[in-house]
Structure 1
């Protein structure tokens, strides 16, 4: 499974999100290749899952990948809840 963590510029915030997503995936026992990138690069990639904010999800509307929305990239509880919802559906 490939997961992209997306922010506007693909550097600071998406890196923090990536670290937190990796932490949550370990807690859930899910194996995945997690990368971080900017929103324009994400539109040309084909991951299984994109984790991003609501604003950036609108920019990726119509993307073939499933998009998981997280409002607070620092909140591992919110990230865990969002990913659990995805994996349980």
Structure 2
């Protein structure tokens, strides 16, 4: 499974979210490749899950994959819940 975190410039906020996602994945026992990129580069990635803040997430639906829209990039509880839901959707999709 591949997860791509996207922000406007592909630097600070996406890297912070990537680090939090890696902690969450370890906590829930899920193995995934996690990377971060700017919005322009995201279209070249093939990811199962795309993560971004609300302003970025609305632009990710055309790329493909499950989109996780974060209301607050430092709210790790909400991030964890949304990530678990997206992982379950990907697993369900891959079964069919």
Normalising by structure 2, what TM-score?
A: 0.85
Highest RCO, 1 vs 2 (Cα 8 Å, sep ≥ 6): 1
Q: Distance in 2 between matches of 1:73 and 1:18?
A: 10
Q: Distance in 2 between matches of 1:47 and 1:83?
A: 14
RMSD: 1.2
> How far apart are residue 60 of structure 1 and its match?
2.0
Q: Distance in 2 between matches of 1:50 and 1:60?
A: 7
| Structure 1 unmatched ranges of 5 or more | none
Q: Distance in 1 between matches of 2:44 and 2:10?
A: 14
Contact 1:20 1:73 in 2 (8 A): no
Equivalent in the alignment of 2:70: 70
| Structure 2 unmatched ranges of 5 or more | 90-96
Equivalent in the alignment of 1:9: 9
Q: Distance in 2 between matches of 1:7 and 1:55?
A: 9
**What is the aligned residue count?**
89
The answer to whether 1:84 aligns with 2:84 is yes
Normalising by structure 1, what TM-score?
A: 0.91
> How far apart are residue 76 of structure 1 and its match?
1.0
